[in-house]
Amino acid sequence: MAATITMIGTGSAFAKVYDNNNAIIEADGFRLLVDCGVTAPGALHKMDVSFGSLNAVLISHTHADHVGGLEQLASQMMIVHHRKAVLYIPAPLREQLREHTLKGGRDQDSLQSLDDFFEVRELAVGEPAELAPGLVVEPIRTEHIEGRLSYSFLINERFFYSADMIFNRQLLQQLVDERGVRSIFHDCQLTSPGVVHACLDELLTLPESIQSITRLMHYGDTMPAFIGRTGLMSFVEQGKPYDI
């Protein structure tokens, strides 16, 4: 069963030309929003996609460019569409999302529980879960910033989507050699050194067999100047659907 991914944004947290690095995955009519950053509501509007047309949202970590639009999503779903938004979240992120991101951020009384505003469905880390027919998601713990949990996702056992992660050659090699991954969307800081993201210079050290299946996202506004300088890798285009 075919599944596609469309980036509603491909930009880094500080990009202005590109929207936050968030995506829509579609499988047999099921529409999953992957992360919901500050720019997500506007980006969805530009694509003529309403919150009400989304079946669920999946969150990777709690930085604003990945969760800053969640409050608006929750509010619109409850007020306009009269139902809670379905929220998939790696189980260890639950408390961090409530405490560091959503608590006290609403006009109503302080958020007591995520369940007050979302239909929460926790995902076990390292275990595949079928979110819908033709869409299986496995959260993988990846390193980003010390002290803050962050997760990347293995989709349908063959597509790896890094959220925000530092360079990890061993993981990428393992995913390709042992897990059979055939396509990778990887966040990419265009300049060195890579501190909280993999940088282009690091990704260029990957073997050609991995570079050839890797597309780069979460880049800065200077991206056009790097076209042709990414080895066998290419840049993900905002708004373009890709098969998974």
pLDDT class of 10 with cuts at 50, 70, 90:
very high
List all residues 6 or more positions away from 92 whose beta carbon is below 8 Å from its beta carbon: 125, 149
Predicted confidence (pLDDT) per residue in 47-57, tens digit: 999 999 999 99
Structure-token match 């501190």, residue found: 195
**pLDDT (average), residues 94-102:** 82
Predicted confidence (pLDDT) per residue in 119-145, tens digit: 999 999 999 999 999 999 999 999 999
Per the structure, the complete domain to which residue 22 belongs is given by: 3-127+135-243
What would the two tokens of residue 138 be? 């496995």
Predicted confidence (pLDDT) per residue in 25-73, tens digit: 999 999 999 999 999 999 999 999 999 999 999 999 999 999 999 999 9
The CATH number given to whatever domain includes residue 194 is 3.60.15.10
pLDDT class of 111 with cuts at 50, 70, 90:
low
pLDDT of 107: 47
pLDDT class of 80 with cuts at 50, 70, 90:
very high
List all residues 6 or more positions away from 27 whose beta carbon is below 8 Å from its beta carbon: 1, 2, 3, 4, 132, 133, 134, 135
What would the two tokens of residue 220 be? 């800065």
pLDDT of 206: 98
Give the length of the chain.
Answer: 244
What total number of domains does the chain contain? 1
Q: What is the side-by-side strand order in the sheet with 30-34?
A: 118-123, 85-90, 56-58, 30-34, 23-27, 3-7, 241-243
pLDDT of 2: 87
**pLDDT (average), residues 172-181:** 98
Mean pLDDT of the chain: 94
pLDDT class of 147 with cuts at 50, 70, 90:
confident
pLDDT of 99: 79
- Higher local confidence (pLDDT), 24 or 2: 24
Q: Which of 96, 209, 201, 213 is nearest to 161 (CA)?
A: 213
